[in-house]
Amino acid sequence: MFKRINILPQWAIFFIDIFICVISLFIAYLVKGDFSFTLISKTIFLKNAFILVCICATVFFILKTYAGIIRLTTIQDAFKILVAVSLINAGFIAVYLVAAVFFHKSFISITTLVISGLVEFVFLIVYRLAIKHFFSYFKNLKVDSKDVVIYGANDEGIVTKRTLELDHKIHNRVVAFIDDEKNKTGKSIDGIRIYHSDDFLYVLQNERVDELIIATTGLSSEKKNEIVDICLDKKIKVMLTPPVREWVNGQLSVRQIHDIRIEELLGREPIRIDNEVIESQLKNKRILVTGAAGSIGSEIVRQLAAFGPAAVILVDNGETALYETELWLGEHFADHVFRYYIADVRDRARMEKIFAECKPHYVYHAAAYKHVPLMELHPYEAVATNVLGTKNLADLSVIYAVQKFVMISSDKSVNPTNVMGASKRIAEIYVQSLYHHELRKAGPAGGEAAEKITKFITTRFGNVLGSNGSVIPRFAEQIKKGGPVTITHPEISRYFMTIPEACQLVLEAGSMGKGGEIFVFNMGKLVRIVDLANKMIRLAGMIPGVDIDLRFIGLRPGEKLHEELLDTAENTIPTYHKRILIANVRQYDYEAVNENMELLMASIADAGTEMKIVELMKKMIPEYLSNNSIFESLDHPVHRQADAR
C-alpha cells in the first residue's frame, strides 16, 4: 500500500493547499475575535472564503506550487510558497481596496489578512515537512535499507544525500557526514550530524555502516587509500560520487554513484598545465595526431580540441577504432574541424601525401606497437612501426617545416630488456640526433634560421591505467569470472599514471619544449602488481586467496621486474613544474645514428631474420640486454656478467 502512494498526485496537493488556506482564514478570524465563535459572521466569512479560494487557485496554478514532490521539499519550495502567500494577500488587499473605494464596504480587516497569511505560510510548510519525514521514516523501516556515511559535508555531499532519497529500489539511510573542516564539526545537514575526519573510526564503530560514499574531490590519493583500507577491513563498501563536471546536465543520478575503482586510488594530484600558453601556441593551428584512435591518441585529440585548433588531423590504421572516434567527436565537438585518415606510419609515400595535403604545424606521434611479449616474438613489426614509422614522420616534419614534433616514448626504453623498449629507445635517439643535426645546419642558436627548424620533443610514460592492454582491465575480467588472477612474479612492480595525466604531460611538453628534450614525469612510487591485484579483489567484495586465487606464471619474454624512467648515466633537470623533469641524456652523432638506421632499415626491407634485426638493435644500444628471451644469446658475456652483478 505504501508503494502505491509513494508520490502524492498533483491534484491532491492542489486541493490540500487550498483547504489549508481556508482553515488559515478561519483561524485568523478566531484570533481577531479573541477565539469567540459568536463574533464571526458566517455570511462574511463564506464570502471572504470564496474570494480566497479564487485567488489561491489562480496563484497556485500560475506558480505550480503543487508540482513538486512533497517528500523532497527543499528551501526552494519554501521560497515559492512564501511568494505564493504574498501574492494571495496582495490579491485580497486589492479586492479590499476596490470594495472600499467603489462600494464603500469593508469585507475584511488588514489585521485578519496578516494573521491569515502567516498561518497559511506556516501550515503549508509544516504539512510538507511532515509528509517528507513520514515517507523517510517508513522508508527506513524497510528491511532492505542500507546505512550510509557520506564523506564530504559540501554541496556535492548534500546533493548525494538527496539523490539517494530518490532511489526507490535500494533504500538508503544516511547516518552521518564526515568532513575535514573542523568548523563544520557538530553541525548538521537535514538533521544528519557532521563529524570531523579524526572521528572517522568512532563513527564506523558506533554506527551500523553498510556503505561509505566519498563525495569530495579534495582528498589526496594517500588519504583516499587510507579510508578505503579501513572500510575494506571492516567489510564496508566504498563508493564514489563523480566530479560535478561529469554530472548529466548538472544533475547527479544514482547510477553515477559507482563502486570506487582502482584507477581512482592510484591517481595523484592532477598536473596543472598552463592553458593560456598552450592555447596561444595551438589556437588556429593544424595539428596531426598519429595513433589517433588509440587510448592515448584519442585523449590527446579530445584535449587538443579545447584549445581552438584550426584543424586536427587524425591518422590511424585501425578502421573500426577510427570510425568510433569519428562518431564520438562528431557528437561532442560538432563545431570543430577534424580530418580522418586510415593510414600506416610505415608507408612513407602515404604519409607524405597527408603532410602535403594538411601541412601540419604540430605533430603528436602516438602510433606505436607497445605489447612487450608480442614484440619479442615479432621484432620486424616493432622496428618497422616504432623505428621506421617514427623516422618517416620525423623526416617529413623537417621537410614540411613542422613547428614541433612531440613523440610519445616509454619507460621501457630505459636500459631496455626487450625488443619493444629497444625500438622506442632507437626512435628517441633518432629524433634527438636529427634535431641537433638540423640545429647545427641552421647556424648559431637563437638565430632566425635556428628558430624556424622543427623542435623535436620526447615524453616518457610509465604504464597508463585503462589503456588498451593495461593490466587492470585484465585483472577485472579475471575477478569477474571468479579467478584466478594471473601475475607474472610476486615482486614485479610498475609505475602507473592515468590517461588524462599522460596526455596532459604531452601537451605540456609540447608547450614548454625548446627542442631535443626528453620529458619524464615524477610518477611517485613503484606499485607492486600483487598489491594491486589484492586491492582489486578486496574492492570487489572478495578475499584474496579465499574467494579469488592468485597464480604466478613467471616473467614473460623481455619483461623486467622493475621499470625505470632514467638511465643510470642520465640525470634530470628541473622545469617550472615540480612534477615534470627533463632527462639530461647523452647526445648522439646524427651521421653515425643514420648509418646504423640505414643498416636496420635495409634489414627490414630485406625481411631479415629476427636475430639479425635484434643484433643490429643491440649494436645501436649497448645497454640493451635481453631478459628471459631467446635474444639473450646475442648479448656479450662481459655485459651479461656485469648485469648479473
Cell of 167: 532511489
At residue 300, the 3 state secondary structure works out as helix
- Which residues are within 8 A (CB) of 629 and not within 5 positions of it... i.e. 6 or more apart? 376, 417, 418, 557, 558
pLDDT digits (tens, 9 = 90+) for 216-260: 877 877 888 888 888 888 888 888 888 777 776 667 777 788 888
Contact present, 201 and 231 (Cβ < 8 Å): no
- The candidate with the shortest Cα–Cα distance to 157, out of 257, 249, 80, 87, is 257
Contact present, 410 and 523 (Cβ < 8 Å): no
Pick the more confident residue, 347 or 29: 347
Is residue 168 assigned to a domain? yes
pLDDT-based confidence at residue 641 (cuts at 50, 70, 90):
very low
Least confident interval from 272-281, 283-292, 350-359: 272-281
| pLDDT computed for residue 453 by the predictor | 92
With a cut of 90, say whether residue 523 has pLDDT above it: no
Neighbours of 276 (CB within 10 A): 10
Q: What are phi and psi of 454, to 5 degrees?
A: -70, 130
| pLDDT computed for residue 368 by the predictor | 94
Query: 321 with 443, same domain?
Result: yes
- The candidate with the shortest Cα–Cα distance to 165, out of 153, 179, 151, 148, is 148
- The candidate with the shortest Cα–Cα distance to 93, out of 103, 82, 108, 115, is 108
pLDDT digits (tens, 9 = 90+) for 478-493: 888 888 999 988 888 8
Query: 225 with 85, same domain?
Result: no
With a cut of 80, say whether residue 551 has pLDDT above it: yes
Which helix or strand (DSSP H or E) is residue 362 part of?
A: strand 362-365
Query: 179 with 65, same domain?
Result: no
Query: With the C-alpha atoms ordered 199, 204, 209, 210, is the resulting torsion angle positive or negative?
Result: positive
Contact present, 310 and 285 (Cβ < 8 Å): yes
Pick the more confident residue, 478 or 572: 478
Q: What are phi and psi of 376, to 5 degrees?
A: -65, -30
Q: What percent of the chain has pLDDT over 90?
A: 28
Least confident interval from 124-133, 152-161, 273-282, 565-574: 565-574
Query: 307 with 206, same domain?
Result: no
Residue with cell 585518415: 341
Which helix or strand (DSSP H or E) is residue 458 part of?
A: strand 455-461
Alpha-carbon distance of 390 to 386, in angstroms, equals: 6
Cell of 440: 647545427
168-178 mean pLDDT: 78
At residue 134, the 3 state secondary structure works out as helix
- The candidate with the shortest Cα–Cα distance to 151, out of 206, 106, 203, is 203
| pLDDT computed for residue 133 by the predictor | 66
Is residue 268 assigned to a domain? no
270-297 mean pLDDT: 86
Alpha-carbon distance of 127 to 177, in angstroms, equals: 27
Alpha-carbon distance of 432 to 469, in angstroms, equals: 29
Cell of 5: 502512494
| pLDDT computed for residue 139 by the predictor | 54
With a cut of 80, say whether residue 296 has pLDDT above it: yes
pLDDT-based confidence at residue 476 (cuts at 50, 70, 90):
confident
Least confident interval from 7-16, 33-42, 203-212: 33-42
| pLDDT computed for residue 119 by the predictor | 79
Query: 481 with 623, same domain?
Result: yes
| pLDDT computed for residue 404 by the predictor | 95
* Domain edge (last residue) among 260, 283, 307: 260
CA 22 vs CA 38, 50, 117, 120: distances in Å? 19, 9, 11, 9
Q: How many residues are listed for the chain in this entry?
A: 645
Q: Which domain holds residue 116?
A: 3-138
Query: 181 with 42, same domain?
Result: no
What DSSP character marks residue 632? G
CA 562 vs CA 289, 426, 484: distances in Å? 30, 21, 23
Residue with cell 464596504: 105
| pLDDT computed for residue 618 by the predictor | 93
Alpha-carbon distance of 230 to 224, in angstroms, equals: 10
Query: 438 with 403, same domain?
Result: yes
Least confident interval from 141-155, 291-305, 364-378, 527-541: 141-155
Alpha-carbon distance of 560 to 417, in angstroms, equals: 7
pLDDT-based confidence at residue 292 (cuts at 50, 70, 90):
very high
Alpha helices, DSSP H only, in 212-318? 221-233, 262-266, 275-282, 295-305
| pLDDT computed for residue 464 by the predictor | 74
Alpha-carbon distance of 315 to 134, in angstroms, equals: 60
| pLDDT computed for residue 5 by the predictor | 46
Is residue 640 assigned to a domain? no
Q: What mean pLDDT value characterizes the chain?
A: 82
469-477 mean pLDDT: 81
Alpha-carbon distance of 295 to 497, in angstroms, equals: 13
Is residue 227 assigned to a domain? yes
Strand partners, 211: 148, 237
Pick the more confident residue, 608 or 279: 279
Task: DSSP for 4-57, please give it.
Answer: GGSS--HHHHHHHHHHHHHHHHHHHHHHHTTT-GGGS-HHHHHHHHHHHHHHHH
pLDDT digits (tens, 9 = 90+) for 492-513: 888 777 788 788 878 887 888 8
With a cut of 60, say whether residue 70 has pLDDT above it: no
Number of folded domains that form the chain: 3
Is residue 265 assigned to a domain? no
pLDDT digits (tens, 9 = 90+) for 378-430: 999 999 999 999 999 999 999 999 999 999 998 888 889 999 999 999 999 99
Query: 77 with 186, same domain?
Result: no
Pick the more confident residue, 126 or 229: 229
* Domain edge (last residue) among 116, 138, 160: 138
* Domain edge (last residue) among 199, 228, 260: 260
What DSSP character marks residue 585? P
CATH at 351: 3.40.50.720
pLDDT-based confidence at residue 339 (cuts at 50, 70, 90):
very high
Q: What percent of the chain has pLDDT over 70?
A: 84
Query: 605 with 552, same domain?
Result: yes
Top mean-pLDDT range of 90-104, 439-453, 523-537: 523-537
With a cut of 80, say whether residue 141 has pLDDT above it: no
Query: 335 with 458, same domain?
Result: yes
pLDDT-based confidence at residue 117 (cuts at 50, 70, 90):
confident
102-112 mean pLDDT: 64
Alpha-carbon distance of 392 to 372, in angstroms, equals: 23
CA 494 vs CA 461, 491, 524, 531, 563: distances in Å? 11, 10, 11, 11, 6
pLDDT-based confidence at residue 591 (cuts at 50, 70, 90):
very high
Is residue 644 assigned to a domain? no
Alpha-carbon distance of 404 to 452, in angstroms, equals: 10
Strand partners, 544: 548
Is residue 245 assigned to a domain? yes
| pLDDT computed for residue 67 by the predictor | 64
Query: 397 with 532, same domain?
Result: yes
At residue 99, the 3 state secondary structure works out as helix
Pick the more confident residue, 624 or 165: 624
Radius of gyration of the chain (CA): 35
- Which residues are within 8 A (CB) of 24 and not within 5 positions of it... i.e. 6 or more apart? 116, 117, 119, 120, 123
The type of residue at 168 is: H
146-157 mean pLDDT: 86
Pick the more confident residue, 495 or 187: 187
With a cut of 70, say whether residue 593 has pLDDT above it: yes
Query: 130 with 220, same domain?
Result: no
Alpha-carbon distance of 523 to 464, in angstroms, equals: 11
Top mean-pLDDT range of 551-560, 572-581, 622-631: 622-631
| pLDDT computed for residue 380 by the predictor | 93
Is residue 637 assigned to a domain? no
| pLDDT computed for residue 6 by the predictor | 52
The type of residue at 114 is: V
268-274 mean pLDDT: 63
Pick the more confident residue, 143 or 529: 529
